[in-house]
Structures are given as structure tokens and as C-alpha cells.
Structure 1
Amino acid sequence: MKLKLITLLIFAPFLLFAQTGELTIHPHIRLPQDSLTSQQLVQALNDFLAAAAKPNEENQWVLASQRIETHILLDEFKDIMKSKAFADDQFYQPYLNNVIALKKGQFLIQLSYIGTKDNESHLRASFELIAHQSDDAFLFSSPLLRNTRDWKTAKVNNNIFHYAKTINEENVQTFGRLAAAFDEKLKVDNKITEFYCTENLTALLQLMGVNYRLDYNGVRQANFSSSLGDKKLILLGNDNATFQNTDAHDLWHDRLSLKISRRKVNKPIDEACAYLYAGSWGLSWEEIFNQFCDKVANNKKTDWTQIKEEPVNFAETRTEHLIADYVVNALFVQQIEKDQGFAGVWEFLNCGPFEKGNANYYAALEQLTGITQKGYNKAVWKLIEKQKKMALANN
């Protein structure tokens, strides 16, 4: 009760000036002394926030030189006003908290999204932006570059790593070699990927300009990314301040996304490629397949068409995910690549996004292998037995 009262006292002055969809400005906030500059700043900020609901590329109030860094922050503004709990699409309203002059023509903007219900205030998120004065207008950017201006960098091929103090050079080099192998397979050329290495999600968010967001309450780790043209930006917030933890599985997904949006490819086949080429959860492809045989493929009555429609997780713990259908797809990918090269796998990947019934999937499989939906179950068992024999031969 005491905490709620304090919160209300803090935000009460803001709530007196609420206007739906428009930025609310506390009368005691120190805006730029020049009234015209203040008017231009507030108008541009309102325009920026309104445009934040649209695709990032359509926001005309983003500083051109920092578009990709700001796009990753703009993703956090999507649907920020909506509240499912209160069934209100405009429950959370923007409030200007602070304006700080950094240097001539540049200001740090702090704002929050707050909603009220039954005389209680509810904080959804708090953001920071940099406002850049340009002629008679203002453009905005994420504070990411400012917050990391004293960081160090390491580079391997077209991959650039930004870090605060130290970095695992061996992991950087290993990453570079594996990334190059994936790029060669995918025919990815001249794509630049920049990584920012942080300890956890909280540190990651603060770098990019999110001081708080209710949605991430209690979440410790996450990675964020954004793509623009030939460049991809990845913020690592998974115990990776020194790039100590690398994941070849995620690396496959990242390199694929440089070639095509992962929303456009078939997810089970994409995951199958990651299993086959990079393993998952610290397990190699061979280890995944052995675990799959012990826990799923040990029952000859298993119907693989049903497994495709109702995913089965055979991982050792609930926090991990090893999906039986992804293993089956990996066996098909392996056979297709052997017979037709990666061009066949690429065609398989692009059979269309996952859909209930998998009509596009079965059509592509038949075209590439001659295996029909009717013969699918028998073909899967045949591939499983073939893989078992290969494993025995290799041992």
C-alpha cells in the first residue's frame, strides 16, 4: 500500500495534464529557453512517437546516420499504449520526464508511458532518446552509440564486436570461421554484422535506451537484433559481456537472416538445418540424434505425420527444446544436400512458412525427393535406420 501511495504522489502532477495520444508535459520541466526551439522539439517528438507505431522504415523523424541503432529501439515502442489487462488500446500515455541539454543542438529526452485506473498509476515503460536539431526540425536516435562511445572493438571478416573491457579473442576467431562457412553455404556476400556484448537484458536495454519495461519484469537474458540493407545489428544480453558464450545454432539463424527474413522460410526446416550444421543446447547433431532415437524413435508405432502436426519435445529439461520433427527434417535436409547440393536445401527452406496441414511442405518434399505424404512415414523410418548405420560405421 505504501509503495502504491508513493507512486501516485510521484506521478500525480503528470496525470493532471493527460491527453490521449499526445505527449503530456509537466509544467516544471525545463525545456529549451528559446520558445521556438521548445515548440519544434515537442512537435517533432510527438510526430516521432506517432510514427513509432508504423514500420520503422516509415519513421521520418529518425536520424539517418543512426537508423539501424534507432530501429532496434523503435521495436520497443510497438503497441506500447495497449493494455490487455484493462482491454484498452490507448491505456498507457506518453509523459515527458526530462530534457537535458548535452551540447549545442542536442538533447537527452526521457519519457514514460503511464496509465491510470481507479486512482492508481501503472508504469509500462521508460525510454531515453537523443534529440538532434537540424535546421528548423529535430530528428531522434537511440543513445546506443553515445552510451558505448568509449568501448573497444574487435573485427573478424565482416563481423564487428563492441565490448566494454575485454573480449574472448579465441571465441571471436572461432565465430569468424564458422560464420564464414555458413556464409559460403548461403552465398552471403558483403553483409556487415555488428555485435554489442553485454552481461544481461537489463544492461542491454539501458544501452539502447530502455530504462524500464514492464514486459521484461524478471527476465534476465535475451538477445535483440535489427537489420537494414547490408547491415545487421545484434545486441547480446546473455552473459556475453566478454563474448564468452557462443552458440553455433543461433549463428546459423543469424546468417540465414542476412540472406532472407526468417519469417519467409519454413521454420521446421530452418531449425533442422541448425540442428544438422550446428547442434543445439550444447549438443552436437550426433548427440541430438542419439537422444532422439532413445526417447522418440524407439517406438515403431510412432506416426511421423502426427509428430509433424503435434510437436514433441524430447529434451532432458523443460528449459531446453529439442523437437522431434526438426530431427526428422534434418534427415531430409542431409539427404537432399547429398543428392542435390545446398541448392536443393535452399528450395526446401523456401517452400513457404509453416502452416497447419503442411501442404506446401509435402509438395516441396515430393518435388525434391519423390516422397509423397502417403509414403512419408515409411520414408522417415528408412532415413532413421540409415542414420543409425552411418553412426555405427563412424564409431
Structure 2
Amino acid sequence: MKNIFTLLFTILSFSASIGQNNPLIINSTISLPKDSLETKKLITSLNNLLIAKEKPNEENTLVWNKENVETYILLDEINGIEKSGKFKDDYFYRPFLTNVVKLSETEYYTQLSYIGVNENNPILRGSFELIAHKEKDGFKFSSTLTRNSSSWKIKKIGNCTFHYKNTINNKTAVNYEKAVKAFDKKLNATNQQTEIYFGGDFPELLKMIGVEYKSDYNGRETSTFNSKAENRLLIVQGSRDANFDDFDLHDLWHERLKNVVSSKIINKPIDEGCAYFYGGSWGISWNDIFNTFKLKVANDKQKNWLEDYGKFANFGESKEKHLMAEYVINALIVQKIEKEKGVAGVIEFVSCGKYQKDNENYFKALEKLTGITKNNFNESVWVLINNEK
């Protein structure tokens, strides 16, 4: 209890005096390395890491290279952590060093917390764990993923490596590897190495990668995180499927596309159309999605698809298992483009830029690849619908 009050006092004392580019605040109760030079190097390296985390991961020279992709997944969670939209302050949350434990002659376990103060009330934004690795001129840092899964079993099939605690569904793993290979071939992504860790649920996922707490995730039960470095893709699942009894082709398409195309330029409605066509949705096949679309949406022969595009009306069985007409339309267009231009045309189409309400980037790419314009969009979509079998 004394340590808690000491930390709160430290927070309140520092909160008024720290400006932008604030250094790491050190809790006075923690035990630092006895060697003062080593302590100085550790603190300096940590401060440099907290600055470098805002750069693209590949440019961060404070990452321990032996576990770079494992660390990127954690850095993505710490990136921008100081900002508060509510309080309109880019440096509202301050970094506190809350624990240092010597693991070996070359490694330290460290804990950081980002805390802000409003009206003398401390607000915890997030707490994170990192492993500091001693090098000649300082320290480099890694996530705790490898450490936390050191007793797990490993199974390798083709270019896929599966990390699991007890058992794994071998049939699912084999089918997954085949689907990965097929999608990667379609996307012309050769020699992509995929590693998957199967956590039981979302809290376990967070703990595995070194996130003790993050306010964004209050109440969340399941999720999947990933990161990429060169030809290595890392996936950490917390989806209550620790034995890997199932996977979704729809989600796998998204995953493999992002392995090739930056998410910054992917058009979501087109990407969803691809996922419908190549993998269905919610376990529903593309054929069944299209038949439901014809029955529930395309039964109105007076419908104007240009006027409706962007309304995102749900024709699925529930809000959770939603289906969107825009995605079906794009699935039909993707099918046409692949037949006429090949997969390269599909990649060009899906890479036309983020969704915009005016859809200017969408129609520019659409006209280039298919000749379909705003003027003939409605007519062209009806032709695609009527020709689909």
C-alpha cells in the first residue's frame, strides 16, 4: 500500500512540471541496477525507445533484432499512447518506469505505465512489459512473447509455424497452410513465412505480447494482432480457439492481402468484396451470399445502385453477421476484373485508396480497369447481377 501512495504522490508532483518530449519518470521505490553506469545506459536507452516508437517499426534502431517482428507487435500498441483526444493534449499521458528486474547478466525485465492527471486524479492509459538486452553501447528491447511462450509446442507445416500450449487440430493446420499457399500464390507473394501463436482469449493475448493493461480494450473478449517484418508475418490470436479447431477464409484473405498491400491504401469496400468472392463471410459461401442478395436486395428492379452505393444497408441475418450490398457489388466487379486483367488488376483496384464518401478514387480506378463510370454504373451493375449464375 505504501508503494501505491508513493507512486501516486510521484505522479501528482511531476504532472505540473513536465512539458512536451518529457523523459521517463522513475518511481522512487523501484530497484535499479547497482552499477550506476548501467542504470544510466538503461534509462537513456528506454528514453530513446519511447521517442523512436513513433517511427515506422523498421526504422527503430532500439529494437532487439533477434526478435524484431515479435517486438513490432508490442510497439504498435504503445505508439501514440501519450495522446488524449478527450483532454486535447498530445502529451497528456506520461511514461513512468514502475519496475526493473535483473533476469541475467545481459537482460532486465522492465515495466512502464502511461498515466495522466486530471483535477488531481491519476488516469491509467496503459502498462507494458519489455525485456532489455544489454549491448556494448546500451540496451535494445524486445517484447515478452518469446519468453512467455518458451514452454509451448511448435509445429511447422510448409511456410507456416504454429505455436500452441497443449494440442493443435492437425487437420485445420494442414488446411490453413494450403489456403495460405493458395492466397499467396494468387497475390504473387513468394516465400512468406507465417508464425501463429494461439492464446485462449484476449486477456491472454495481451499478456503474451507484454500489454498488462490498455484502456482501449476494456471489456474486449477476443481479437487477433499481427505484425510484419520483411517476409515474416506474425499473428497472435486470442479467439478462444487455442487448439485451432477452425479458421475463416474471409479473414484469411484480409490477412494475406495486408501482407502484400499497405493498409494505408486498401479500399475497405473493395477488400470486403474480394473477401466475399474468395472466402465468403461468417461461414456463408459466396454463392449463398449472392443468392440471399438477389432474394432480399436485387428483387427491386427499380433500384439505382449508384444512389444506394455508400448506404451500407445490412441484409444479413443479424447486426453481428452483417452482409452489405456494396460488398456484393464489388465482389462481382472483382470477378470481372480478374477475368479480364488478372489478379494484378484486382490488386490495383483494391489499392485505390481509403474509402471516401464521394468515392472519387473508387470510380477513377473502376473506369481505368473496366470502363465503368458513374454515368453507366447502375446499368453495368445490373448486367453483372443478371449474368451471375
Give the TM interval when normalised to the shorter protein: over 0.9
The equivalent of 2:111 in structure 1 is 110
| Distance across 1 between alignment mates of 2:7 and 2:174 | 50
Q: Map of 1:249-288 to 2, 5 A cutoff?
A: 249-288=250-289
| Distance across 2 between alignment mates of 1:262 and 1:306 | 27
8 A contact 1:8–1:121 mirrored in 2: no
| Distance across 2 between alignment mates of 1:113 and 1:232 | 28
Q: CA deviation at 1:136?
A: 3.1
Q: CA deviation at 1:270?
A: 1.8
8 A contact 2:6–2:29 mirrored in 1: no
> Measured at CA, do residues 335 and 98 of structure 1 come closer, stay the same or move farther in structure 2, by a change above 3 Å?
same
8 A contact 2:3–2:29 mirrored in 1: no
Which amino acid is the alignment partner of residue 11 of structure 1?
Answer: L
* Secondary structure at 2:301 match in 1: coil
| Distance across 1 between alignment mates of 2:243 and 2:47 | 38
Q: Report Cα offsets for 1:340-363 as digits up to 9, x if no partner.
A: 433433343344443333233333
Which amino acid is the alignment partner of residue 62 of structure 1?
Answer: V
The equivalent of 1:330 in structure 2 is 331
8 A contact 2:58–2:229 mirrored in 1: no
The equivalent of 2:7 in structure 1 is 11
8 A contact 1:17–1:25 mirrored in 2: no
| Distance across 2 between alignment mates of 1:263 and 1:91 | 27
Q: CA deviation at 1:6?
A: 10
The equivalent of 2:226 in structure 1 is 225
**Stretch of structure 1 that moved more, 282-291 or 126-135:** 282-291
Given the alignment of the two structures, is residue 77 of structure 1 paired with residue 82 of structure 2, yes or no?
no
| Distance across 1 between alignment mates of 2:368 and 2:52 | 44
Q: CA deviation at 1:292?
A: 1.4
The equivalent of 2:191 in structure 1 is 190
| Distance across 2 between alignment mates of 1:89 and 1:370 | 45
| Distance across 2 between alignment mates of 1:145 and 1:228 | 16
| Distance across 1 between alignment mates of 2:124 and 2:350 | 42
> Measured at CA, do residues 368 and 47 of structure 1 come closer, stay the same or move farther in structure 2, by a change above 3 Å?
closer
Q: Map of 1:1-395 to 2, 5 A cutoff?
A: 9=5, 11-15=7-11, 18=14, 19-20=18-19, 21-387=22-388, 390=389
| Distance across 2 between alignment mates of 1:135 and 1:364 | 52
| Distance across 2 between alignment mates of 1:54 and 1:306 | 41
| Distance across 2 between alignment mates of 1:115 and 1:276 | 46
> Measured at CA, do residues 153 and 378 of structure 1 come closer, stay the same or move farther in structure 2, by a change above 3 Å?
same
Q: CA deviation at 1:330?
A: 0.8
* Secondary structure at 1:131 match in 2: strand
8 A contact 2:12–2:117 mirrored in 1: no
> Measured at CA, do residues 352 and 217 of structure 1 come closer, stay the same or move farther in structure 2, by a change above 3 Å?
closer
> Measured at CA, do residues 96 and 292 of structure 1 come closer, stay the same or move farther in structure 2, by a change above 3 Å?
same
8 A contact 1:125–1:214 mirrored in 2: yes
The equivalent of 1:393 in structure 2 is none
Q: CA deviation at 1:77?
A: 1.2
Q: How large is the RMSD of aligned CA atoms in angstroms? A: 2.0
* Secondary structure at 1:309 match in 2: coil
Q: CA deviation at 1:240?
A: 2.4
**Stretch of structure 1 that moved more, 335-344 or 59-68:** 335-344
> Measured at CA, do residues 375 and 147 of structure 1 come closer, stay the same or move farther in structure 2, by a change above 3 Å?
same
* Secondary structure at 2:309 match in 1: helix
> Measured at CA, do residues 340 and 96 of structure 1 come closer, stay the same or move farther in structure 2, by a change above 3 Å?
closer
* Secondary structure at 1:103 match in 2: coil
Q: CA deviation at 1:295?
A: 2.3
8 A contact 1:201–1:237 mirrored in 2: yes
| Distance across 2 between alignment mates of 1:16 and 1:312 | 49
**Stretch of structure 1 that moved more, 378-387 or 142-151:** 378-387
8 A contact 2:261–2:351 mirrored in 1: no
Which amino acid is the alignment partner of residue 120 of structure 1?
Answer: N
Structure 1 segments (4+ residues) deviating >4 Å: 5-8
| Distance across 2 between alignment mates of 1:340 and 1:105 | 55
Q: Percent of pairs identical after alignment?
A: 46
* Secondary structure at 1:259 match in 2: coil
Which amino acid is the alignment partner of residue 81 of structure 1?
Answer: E
* Secondary structure at 2:103 match in 1: strand
8 A contact 1:223–1:235 mirrored in 2: yes
| Distance across 1 between alignment mates of 2:229 and 2:308 | 37
TM-score (norm 1): 0.92
Q: CA deviation at 1:130?
A: 0.3
| Distance across 2 between alignment mates of 1:219 and 1:339 | 43
**Stretch of structure 1 that moved more, 370-379 or 270-279:** 370-379
8 A contact 2:196–2:234 mirrored in 1: yes
**Stretch of structure 1 that moved more, 89-98 or 217-226:** 89-98
